[in-house]
Amino acid sequence: GKWKLTSGAARCNTSMNYAAKSVTQVDWQGNTSTIAVTYVAGDSTKFPATVYVMTDAGIAYHVTYIFASKDKVTIDTAAMCTYARV
């Protein structure tokens, strides 16, 4: 789905669009990139829920997403970038 930045430190992606096997991201400078990803999701019926997104670089390079609800997600990093579903 499509997500738009609502809060976070500088250098957060401004938007993200997730597909079945890829994510297209627009970084804080306006650059667009698309990468292949794999999702490892927890229980999507309970919130907060956790989803791990991995690139082909492997599990060591995963990003943890914490869903407060189906429409709000925060990336679990020091920047705490928070997004709303578009």
- Is the CA virtual torsion 33, 5, 41, 71 positive or negative? negative
Mean pLDDT across 74-78: 93
Write down the pLDDT at residue 9.
80
Q: Is the pLDDT of residue 58 over 80?
A: no
Count CB neighbours of 51 within 10 A: 17
Task: Give residue 5's Cα distance to chain centre.
Answer: 10
Which of the four pLDDT bands, split at 50, 70 and 90, describes residue 69?
very high
Q: Which of 83, 59, 54 minimizes the C-alpha distance to 71?
A: 83
In this structure, the dihedral spanned by the alpha carbons of residues 77, 59, 24 and 81, taken in order and rounded to 10 degrees, is -10
Which of the four pLDDT bands, split at 50, 70 and 90, describes residue 84?
very high
70 secondary structure, DSSP code: T
Write down the pLDDT at residue 57.
82
